[in-house]
Structure 1
Amino acid sequence: MKFVRLLLAIFLPPVGIFLTYGFGPTLLINILLTLLGWVPGSIHAVWAVVKHDEKYSQHQGTV
């Protein structure tokens, strides 16, 4: 699933963010960045998905 979210973050940034975070401030920021240009939206989406997965794996490691 992580690979699919990363692909979506590259090609359809708001969809990748939505699948990772749901509806919230991160999605709204990404939509605004994507409206400014595809590249800023993609960079933000990839960064956000990777950071979310890092936090999730750290949390799983401590339990």
Structure 2
Amino acid sequence: MQIIILILSILLPPLGVALKHGLSNDFWINLILTIIFFVPGVIHAIYVNFLR
């Protein structure tokens, strides 16, 4: 399951966050970051899913 979340965190960051945390504040923050610019969304998704 972790490898799927990692792949989705890179390809579709909000989906990767939503799978692990649901529609929480982390999801909405990641969605906004991904809409503004893709790279901050990826960094945030990896941070939220694997480093926190």
* TM-score, normalising length: structure 1: 0.78
Specify the alignment match of 2:18 in structure 1.
18
By how many angstroms is 1:36 displaced? 1.1
By how many angstroms is 1:51 displaced? 2.9
Q: Which amino acid aligns with 1:4?
A: I
Whose relative contact order is higher, 1 or 2, with alpha carbons under 8 Å and at least 6 apart?
2
By how many angstroms is 1:23 displaced? 0.6
Matching of residues 26-45 of structure 1 within 5 Å: 26-45=26-45
Q: How many residues align structurally?
A: 52
RMSD: 0.9
Q: Which amino acid aligns with 2:50?
A: V
Task: Provide structure 1 residue ranges, at least 5 long, that are not aligned to the other structure.
Answer: 53-63
Specify the alignment match of 1:56 in structure 2.
none
